[in-house]
Amino acid sequence: DRGVHGRLFAYGFASKPVDWYALSHEIARVLGIGQAVAEPIAPVQRLVLNRHAGLRRWAGNSDAYSDALDNFRHEYAQLAASLLAHAASGDWNALRMLAHKARGVAANIGLEQLAAALAQLEQAAGDDSAAASAMQHAAEAIGAALGAIRPGRLNAPSAQVTAAAAD
């Protein structure tokens, strides 16, 4: 039911995104099985909107995924302003909670750069100098993410091309 998906999404209920490759390698490392990685892992290239990964997390259901993107665009249109207001008032707990919730939703729909920026903001909350920089980065990522979500363009190839190296 598309309505149920939308209501659950609005409240932040969706599965947590898991990088199965990284998870399986970490399990092997902890258990001491397999070969140790001799070379450092290259930085992950995160996309503004990775529609392929987002759609995969929604089990290939393009209608539900489109609804999730639309819901995000509507529910989080004022995200930057809300985060800035929490920061300005020194309400770091509210900022952390909002950043955490939005980060989980963003990751579930493939907003990779935004999810990473919100994770940084969540960790920096409370440290004035780190929070200011993280807030600026998050605001830019929010703008890019909202700009990348276009109704009816689920299979547009241009949504996959904007990448930046992870910090």
Q: What is the Cα Rg of the chain in Å?
A: 17
Is residue 45 within a helix (H) or strand (E), and if so which, with residue range? strand 45-47
**Tens of pLDDT, residues 91-110:** 999 999 999 999 999 999 99
Using DSSP's 3-state secondary structure scheme, residue 77 falls into coil
**Tens of pLDDT, residues 136-150:** 999 999 999 999 998
Residue 59 structure tokens: 């089990």
Overall pTM > 0.75: no
Using DSSP's 3-state secondary structure scheme, residue 164 falls into strand
Selection from 99, 93, 92 nearest residue 138 by Cα: 99
Contact call for residues 107 and 101 (beta carbons, < 8 A): no
